[in-house]
Amino acid sequence: MASKKYTLLAILLVALQLSSFAQGNDWGWDWKDSSKIPAKRMPQHNEFLNNNYPYPAQPRDQWELGIAGGPSFIIGDISPKIGIGGSMGHFELNVFKPVMIFNFLHSARLIGDVCVAFNDKCAEGIQPLHENIKKHVNNSLMLVTALNTKIGYYKSAEIAQTAHKNGSTLKETAIALGYVTAEEFDAWVKPEEMVGGN
């Protein structure tokens, strides 16, 4: 009987210790704290805090979207930390709720900040280069699938492989191999009809 009392007392002490640990306020270094920034970097830090960057939108913002909003941070915060915190609710005290809430709010704030930064610094004002888009679409080897029903799979595959090997377009290769004429190719291969639903 005495061993049960001591066991319950030990469990109670561990639970109290865990609850006091989970209620701690120190979540690490505050990135807004300017006391740890060297004096020569203060102007850059102030620009960062005021969201006032002197440089134009750079392609690196797409990289930041993948890193900050990607699986390494968001899934890393949500899955293990909230999952483990939820599994540690000893005696239904739920002492890990502050950890779970902090990590969820941190991930939500991270996703929101990244989306706003991506929109402001990269996506806003982008104009498509229609000539480049048309050139890349017309030179795509995947357009050969439109010829499958007209000349067969094996001839279409030969056209695609030859075009890839020689660095030529599908139209040039198909005409050179003698499988289609220029008029037939233009009539059959229409990228705008190959996308979208029925």
What's the maximum distance between 2 C-alpha atoms anywhere in the chain? Answer: 96
- pTM, two decimal places: 0.43
d(CA 22, CA 16): 10
Q: Which residue has the tokens 């390494």?
A: 72
Q: Which two tokens stand for residue 42?
A: 């203060």
Q: Which two tokens stand for residue 166?
A: 């020689």
- The CA-atom distances, in angstroms, between 40 and each of 71, 145, 159, 168, 185 are 34, 59, 61, 55, 64
Nearest to 46 by CA among 60, 107, 54: 54
d(CA 192, CA 96): 54
pLDDT for the residue numbered 155: 92
**pLDDT tens per residue, the chain (198 residues)?**
567 777 776 776 666 565 554 444 445 556 667 777 778 878 877 777 776 765 555 545 556 666 655 656 666 666 676 677 777 766 666 777 777 788 788 878 878 887 888 888 778 888 888 998 888 888 888 899 999 999 999 999 999 999 999 988 899 999 999 999 999 999 999 888 887 655
Which DSSP letter does residue 88 get? T
d(CA 119, CA 113): 10
Q: How far is CA 21 from the centre of its chain?
A: 34
Sign of the C-alpha dihedral, residues 150, 155, 161, 164?
negative
Sketch out the chain's domains with CATH numbers: 2-123 (no CATH), 130-193 (1.10.40.30)
d(CA 96, CA 110): 21
